[in-house]
Chains A and B, each alone.
Chain A
């Protein structure tokens, strides 16, 4: 990725201004920069790669359509990723792919602290386990996991993006982590 400072991405700002001035090249810059990260974030919520690509295409088209409503003084990535995560959640609602697991859950990082991973094969195996476990979470819990651990948002940023008190974010994360821990724990202990 390009050199950026927290909260400030000059090139994003310029890309947005180019789009506002009618230059479609600004959108191309943003698509090339964020598409992989955005599709992966959407995939972590949808668990469906083609659907994740559709969600991200829509997010970019919405950005293009509403570019004059975008405040180019603010960082673009949180705005875009918020659109992606919300789009993924909406897609899940529409596709009725939500599971009914709303039980509490527990820390992903703890899963990572339990074993030293020596090889890429082991990483791949852990990745598969995590993917299986994620697929059993409700989309909303997957969304907070993706925001917190994949996109790297702080709970404060999540609270501001979701317009919820930080405690509520903590609650959603707590539920997602606990469920993940149960799922990963049971899988790990299986013969």
Chain B
């Protein structure tokens, strides 16, 4: 047999890293030192909805429109018929430049819901980063409350939230307000992520509730009772006999951009008499053509806590034009064997040493499964055991009775896909020795399905399935890209000028480095070893990453200048419009730096360590363009070269974006996620966000580092190569004025930049 690279590396790592390491005790100890009680918010899931769900199931109607619940986007499910009250208006409180905005609020008979957002937390107020091994500094996790006029306070009973470095947003659920209480105060002791004393604390935000206006949007919740019968397909598990479905759909909410499905997973009995866990690892949703349907987890649906019989779920199906019906499929479930008295023995002998191994090779019968105990190994603080299962066993625990381990009541372990398993026990005191009896417990079995259930909107049956999902208008789409690859010979158009600089191998493949390609005559030249080559706007030089730091190659002289004081972690270089300076990121210390093109004048522009900024270009001779994560997506910012001041330019609706500024600073190209689609788009605009145009919209594909032509007429886009979808990158030329899409011929590498014609404008 030939091991794979992964197996060999795993084998190499296994020689030093045992299967049964357990970091939990040490992590727990360090967490306790961080005064866990101050940082953890207790938010037991509300049980109110469980009762509502149970009531809803009594309707006995296949599809019944909301005589039970309604849905308010951002708020969640609300009880019908109750007198709803909403915030009189959003409330904004500002302190030291930080704003806290209560954006939404609702009081109903069963709960109170508040959404609030905090923005503009200064970087200086954030808890400092800490080095490995250092005790983490105290950091605020807010424990907000609602104070009523009589002084009583309510703590959240549920909710969700998240942050983006300089701000955060929470949606909290509280117990219902008394009917006669309309004035409350939101108390926020401290701001998420800040260090004590560095940002305003003890925020008090007065809130007023008023009766909801008649036009308040309450989307009807459609009850589905009973659930459609299960579609049980063949499988080794309970499929052989009719069984209750482990998945049910109980509610749907029809929205403009999709549909929320709410339902439950249920424990079922297998043919072995085992009860499966109702907690399911993954659900696949497909349309009638078998295509995967994208879905999200709605953040405003509070689900009831599960138990050993049932767990709840909510998915938002993205889009409305699907080939109906949709099928929700559960491929497998887990079941735990009843505790057995199955055990094996081994004798450590006197004074066993760490690392000592005993070969056991004993088969154990666990119900219908056979487990072979392979070895026992003495660890410094206990024992580790290796097993070979039949593939169905996915986890087990071990216990040496009479001795109390400190890791867990019984050591645990997991399995690999090949049936191999491991488990261990560790002790804080003396480790048992001699003739030992090891009991096997907590054996988890994978029960294969599949189980599936179908759903379609009322009235969808009989409707023709859409043939395609219309996408936004763009030059590069799945369709135009496929057409271009099929019909256009891969060649560089003759009207292009300048020099492409790319990364690739030399002629005999012995070196990788920087290669130039003259568009005028097709001359190709390997220049030097290195990577990430960026041509200066005047087309005369190229800066690149060398082995020891940054370097500049001068096309005219053929000389390479190693930039002094740069290091191998420097990257993301961008030239100033006059070709006199280079800005770059020093990743070893998280700094934005600049250096003159003659190697002099290296200096730090910004400490990037508190908040991550990507450097994307120069706006003019005095300002860089950077990006920063924000509440609505990535913010494009201007960064003053001399005073470090920043100002927002505009926000992209994407959590992560590749952004490139044109060589003259007049345009930016940026990738962005597409709303409601699992894909990426590419846009161009001026740096202030004006004249924004979509250039590419691709479903389920990434786009890489666009490259501007010197005259801003063309872009080169990197796209996954259909012929090598894992590692291959294909590049395409896109003419912005005409939307012409031309596959770039294989130049033997990846184009990084496009230099102007020598002597050109």
List chain B residues, Cβ under 8 A from A94. 131-132
> Any chain A CB within 8 A of the CB of B62?
no
In the bound complex, do residue B3 and residue A131 qualify as a contact, i.e. CB atoms below 8 Å apart?
no
Closest to A148 in B: B5
Interface residues of A in 34-66 (CB under 8 A from B): 35-36, 39-41, 43-44, 49, 52-58, 60-62, 64-66
Asked if A60 contacts B2 (CB within 8 A), the reply is no
Mask, B4-18, CB within 8 Å of A = 1, is 111111111111110
Residue A77 is within 8 A (CB to CB) of chain B in the complex: no
A82 within 8 A of B: no
- Which of A13, A21, A31, A116 gathers most chain B CB within 10 Å? A21
Of B213-221, B280-288, B466-474, B733-741, the one with at least 4 CB within 8 A of chain A: B280-288
B-side contacts of A168, CB under 8 Å: 503, 531-532, 545, 571
* Cα A102 to Cα B502 with chains together (Å): 22
Give residues of chain B (29-53) contacting chain A, Cβ–Cβ below 8 Å: 30-31, 36, 39-43, 45
The answer to whether A127 and B8 have CB atoms under 8 Å apart is yes
What's the nearest-Cβ distance from chain B to residue A164, in Å? 7
Q: How far is the CA of A92 from the CA of B656 in the complex (A)?
A: 28
A57 to B21, CA, bound (A): 12
- Is B332 an interface position by the 8 A CB rule? yes
**Closest CB of chain B to A112's CB: distance in Å?**
6
Contacts of A115 in B (CB 8 A): 2
A3-B446 in contact (CB<8A): yes
Asked if residues B512 and A174 are in contact (CB atoms below 8 Å), the reply is yes
In the assembled complex, how far is the CB of residue A51 from the closest CB belonging to chain B, in whole angstroms? 9
The answer to the question of B416 belonging to the interface, with a C-beta cut-off of 8 Å to chain A, is yes
Q: Give, as a whole number of angstroms, the nearest-CB distance from B131 to chain A.
A: 7
Q: How far is the CA of A145 from the CA of B159 in the complex (A)?
A: 41
Interface string of B436-478 (1 = CB under 8 A from A): 0000000000100000000000000000000000000000000
Task: Say how far A168's CB is from chain B's closest CB, in angstroms.
Answer: 5
| CB-CB under 8 A for A40 and B10, given A8-B282, A21-B159, A167-B503 | yes
Q: How many residues of B contact A (CB 8 A)?
A: 97
- Contact of A156 with B15 in the complex, beta carbons under 8 Å: no
In the complex, number of A-B residue pairs with CB atoms less than 8 Å apart: 241
Q: Mark B540-581, 1 if CB is under 8 A from A, else 0.
A: 000001011000000000000000000010011000000000
Whole-angstrom distance between the alpha carbons of A39 and B26 in the complex?
Answer: 14
C-alpha spacing A109/B727, complex, angstroms: 16
Q: How far is the CA of A41 from the CA of B12 in the complex (A)?
A: 11
B704 at the A interface (CB under 8 A): yes
Closest residue of chain A to B7, judged by CB?
A123
User: Are the C-beta atoms of B2 and A35 separated by less than 8 Å?
Assistant: no
Measured CA separation A134–B90 after assembly (Å): 58
B357 at the interface (CB under 8 A from A): no
Which among B163-171, B252-260, B519-527, B594-602 touches the partner chain? Answer: B163-171
Q: Which of B16, B279, B504 contacts A49 (CB 8 A)?
A: B16
| Other A-B pairs beyond A32-B412, A140-B568, 15, CB < 8 Å | A3-B281, A3-B331, A4-B281, A10-B280, A24-B36, A40-B14, A57-B23, A64-B31, A90-B132, A118-B1, A126-B3, A128-B15, A150-B9, A156-B702, A156-B704
Q: 23 A–B contact pairs at CB < 8 A? A: A1-B414, A1-B416, A3-B331, A22-B40, A31-B23, A32-B24, A40-B14, A43-B16, A49-B16, A53-B21, A54-B133, A60-B27, A61-B27, A68-B161, A74-B655, A123-B11, A126-B8, A127-B15, A134-B12, A156-B729, A164-B571, A167-B531, A167-B752
